[in-house]
Amino acid sequence: MQISDTAAIVTGGASGLGGATAQALAQNGARVFAFDLPAAIEQAPSVAGITYVAADVTDPDQVAAAVETASGSGVPLRVVVNCAGIGPSARILSRKGPHDLGLFRKVVEINLIGTFTVLTLAAAAIAETEPDEHGQRGVAINTASIAGYEGQIGQAAYAASKGGVIGLNLPAARDLASSGIRVMTIAPGIVDTPMLATVGDEFRAALAEGVTFPKRLGKPEEYASLALTIIAHDYLNGEVIRMDGALRMAPR
């Protein structure tokens, strides 16, 4: 799939995995539309080729308007990368009492339902474009987590939401095949993103020590590199790729 002279949507595109992916796509000639919340966009760097669009992935009307902006850019919309997400920690039962049911719902709404909303509305726009000589119209990349396989203590909501993204992958690829759209999912391990910004060096070192090899945290740029590889590799479809240094999460 060609990247240059096409449009690409990246959710959570103001920072972290999404920020690195948006920049990598722009550097390769895509017109990138980075969806994020207004507060995040205010802190985002100004990068040639990236247009920041305020959109909450849990609001279908905002997503529809943002997708329309991307699809009306004058070049075909070919790529959507879903990186928007949150990862709060809470036990089902703790000294504070039962898990906040509203928090569980919020995590699933952002991480899973938000991913599905953007995937669906972007796919509808991509399906209206002219296919290339191989019948391809586009590719969607969703972001899961190895927590979707091996959720730790306190990750019930996060693991459930990311497990849903993993389960979505294959049926989405099958549903969208007739429209010439591939669907892939990346399941990162522990990546050095703003979610870890408040963690001390000692704890970060302990996290890195648990990785089989290389013994370090992953980098957002490595996620972006993998996303570009998936886009370019036309025979990758319907698969979840773990990007985790062979890490298998312990209970805590």
Q: Quick one: pLDDT at residue 193?
A: 85
DSSP letters of 131-199? P-TTS--EEEEEE--THHHHPPTTBHHHHHHHHHHHHHHHHHHHHHGGGTEEEEEEEE-SB-SGGGTTS
Let me know if residue 48 belongs to a domain.
yes
The predicted-structure confidence for 50-99, as pLDDT tens digits, reads as follows 999 999 999 999 999 999 999 999 999 999 999 999 999 999 999 999 99
Phi, psi angles (nearest 5°) of residue 57: -65, -15
Report how many domains make up the chain.
Answer: 1
Task: Tell me the whole-structure pTM to 2 decimals.
Answer: 0.96
Q: Could you tell me the residue range of the domain that residue 52 belongs to?
A: 7-242
pLDDT of residue 178: 98
Residue 209 lies in a domain: yes
Using 50, 70 and 90 to split pLDDT, how confident is the model at 197? low
What pLDDT was estimated at residue 207? 83
Q: What is the pLDDT of residue 198?
A: 61
Which of 90, 81, 102, 99 lies closest to 30, judged by CA?
81
158: annotated active-site residue? yes
Q: Is residue 249 part of a domain?
A: no
Q: Which pLDDT score is estimated for 203?
A: 73
Q: What is the CA radius of gyration of the chain?
A: 18
Is residue 199 over pLDDT 70? Answer: no
Residue 125 located in a structural domain? yes
CATH of the domain at 96: 3.40.50.720
Range 189-194 average pLDDT? 89
Catalytic entry in 149, 158, 223, 235: 158
Residue 170 lies in a domain: yes
CA angle, corner 239, sides to 63 and 58, nearest 5? 20
User: For residue 79, which phi and psi values (nearest 5 degrees)?
Assistant: -130, 140
The answer to the question of residue 190 being in a domain is yes
Query: What mean pLDDT is predicted for residues 121-128?
Result: 98
